[in-house]
Chain A
Amino acid sequence: MSNAFRIFPEQASRNAWNVDALFLFEFLVSCFFVFLIAGLVLYFSLKYRRRSDDDVPAYTPTSTLLELTYIFIPASLMVIMFFWGGWIYIRNKRPPANAMQINVVGKQWMWKLQHPEGPREINTLHVPVGRPIKLVLTSQDVIHDFGIPDFRIKQDVIPGIYVTEWFEATRTGEFHLFCNQYCGDLHSRMIGSVIVMQPAAYQSWLEGRTADEPAAVSGSRLFQSYGCATCHGQRAPSLAGLYMSLVKLNDGTTTIADEQYLRESIVAPANKLVAGFGPIMPTYQGQLSEEQIFDLIEYIKSLGAAMDNTIPGASAAGPQTRPSTQPVNGYHPDLLLNQPPAREPPGSNQSPLQQDRRP
């Protein structure tokens, strides 16, 4: 981010280059058509300008061939644009597996960002260069939008839903972070910056931020203080190994215990009941802030995550299938039997970050 005059934004991420290449292509196509049409119009209106008020030009028949030409050429150009643009879009929707996750809560009018290692930031995001970063975003109130122009990414941040967005910065420096969705009075103040650092510098920045405890630790404290621990493990399913496992629900369907599911289980537990349990868990809607929910989720994740091999159905299903309609065969045996599961040692001796990065 520099305040210098520019006509083209910096390219500071992998994605930026992709987007710009497509933009350039469409820009050239557009120039061609604009100059073609403007040129023809001007040329015709000067060449065939009316010389006498009684001029009556002869009839020129319509040429179907010409009509087909100007249907076919734009159409085929647009097919290229469609596939190219679709490719970038889909690529943008799929964070790589080894991405580092950062949780983001938008609220009127600030961004709260949470590194798994602990540091919490407001309106500033420190990230290492050359490493894919996955953001999991949600909003505490209205719709916001997390956009970083120099990375060419942007995503609406919606209350009640977790959405993701990812980038890989390719250049150190400071870049604008904007809220792009109108969200009230200080929408234009909901801005910040992304600071991209060399990995080593990032590491030392992390180490300098010891005051913030890791999210999982805060989460475990919330787990105690909100009384979750009084039920879970006894009257309620154990949460160990829950993350990313397949959960069998009361109505016979299954679902993946991703962040969205965990969040829903906390704020609207009655919507999806685990098979074999009644609707006794109270809702925590309105009692926990979105950040606290993130903390709790990080804590639950730190209790161990189910990995691919426990979900045979999922990997074969491909991206389009909704897991909830898949055959039930990969859920946690513990949960099915409705018994306290044999816990694997909780990940307290591992850092949650490492958990996250397990291949």
Chain B
Amino acid sequence: MAEKHDHVVSPRLYVSVLTALMLLLALTLVAAFVDLDKLLHGGYWNMSLAIVIAIFKAILIILFFMHVKYASRVTWAFASAAFVWLAILLTLTFADYGTRPTPAESPVPSHRLTP
């Protein structure tokens, strides 16, 4: 089970990761000042893009700075488990808020509710 060697990552890789992170940061800033929602005629484009970039940054940090790329399966499992659980919390909470009959749709007479 125990891998009997230590993995050493070269500093060159760290420099390139840092560069990539900085570029992504720049991209985040640029994206924030372009109204994508207007450009693409839809909601949430800006927000989604910002989140996606943040996820990319996080993945870079996790894989290289935190050495998960070279780590055992157990580490992979633990690193992802936390996010899976966060997704549970998020999904089921919003499953409630997202399907609430509008602030109070409840007072609407029921003949309006049943098609």
Contacts and interface: CB of A to CB of B under 8 A. Distances in A.
A186 to B, nearest CB: 28
What DSSP secondary structure best describes chain A's contact surface?
mixed
B106 interface: yes
Contacts of B99: 320
B111 A97 contact: yes
B108 A258 contact: yes
A96 B110 contact: yes
Interface string A274-316: 0000000000000000000000000000000000100100111
Contacts of B104: 161-164, 258-261
Contacts of A264: 103
Nearest to A311: B112
Interface residues of B, number: 16
Contacts of A316: 115
Interface string A316-332: 11111011100000000
B63 to A, nearest CB: 39
Highest count of chain B CB atoms <10 Å: which of A161, A260, A261, A318: A260
A136 interface: yes
Interface in A339-359: none
Contacts of B114: 94, 318-319
Contacts of A244: 108
Contact of A97 (B102, B106, B110, B115): B110
Interface in B3-58: none
A94 B112 CA distance: 10
A323 B102 contact: yes
A93 B106 contact: yes
A259 B102 contact: no
A125 interface: no
B102 A95 contact: no
Given A256-B102, A319-B101, A323-B102, A314 B107 contact: no
Contacts of A139: none
A242 to B, nearest CB: 14
Interface of B: 99, 101-115
Interface of A: 93-97, 134, 136, 161-164, 244, 255-256, 258-261, 264, 308, 311, 314-320, 322-324
